[in-house]
Copies of this chain bind each other. A is one copy, B any other.
Amino acid sequence: MWDLIYFLDLVGTFAFAVSGALSGIEKRYDVFGVLFVAFITAVGGGTTRDVLLGLTPVSWMNNIVYIYVIIAAVAFTFLTSGRIMKWRKTLFLFDSIGLGVFTIAGIRKTLEAGLSWEIAIMMGVISAVLGGILRDVFNNQEPLILQKEIYATACFAGALLLFIFYLAGVPLAVSIPVAILSIILIRILAVRYQWSLPVFGNSRKK
């Protein structure tokens, strides 16, 4: 199972890097700028998690494969530029896989560091969503993820599910795949049916 999860982690990294590269191209950044934003988007969440937990040197430093996956994703984005819409559905699926795998990997690392489930759930969500938030911050835009779409919520639901399975004594070989799949499914359904979280305050005055 771990081999499959590792592979899906790379798939998610690829999709996150493409999303970062696309936003950098839209901003008309140069090649270095596009690489930088792709990199921040792909590893920003996991790096912050590692730094907060004290797991340094951070994980991508010890496994060069992640850097090459990101470079490949940027090359792919440049090469398909203009025709990237053809890949839209595939990339969205990859992105959802990343969301699922990153959440569960974040929980695992936090628990292994000896911290509580509450913190682990938080760190799982942060691992998965912070990359996309930092992408927008470095692009000088309001973070899209903070505004709409069931995105962090999908991660949170999957994290909660994993916790419930843990309390119920379900073995990891069952609970981890189910939690990852549920995050992917919620994300896909949310986009399909345009679910969104409520916005408070001024919204009524509109």
Contacts and interface: CB of A to CB of B under 8 A. Distances in A.
Given A78-B200, A201-B26, A57 B146 contact: no
Contacts of A151: 32
A172 interface: no
A165 to B, nearest CB: 21
* Residue from the set A62, A115, A140 with the largest chain B CB neighbour count within 10 Å: A140
A9 to B, nearest CB: 18
Contacts of A136: 140
Contacts of A58: 52
Contact of A81 (B30, B51, B147, B201): B201
Given A56-B52, A140-B140, A202-B28, A33 B119 contact: no
A119 to B, nearest CB: 5
A51 B61 contact: no
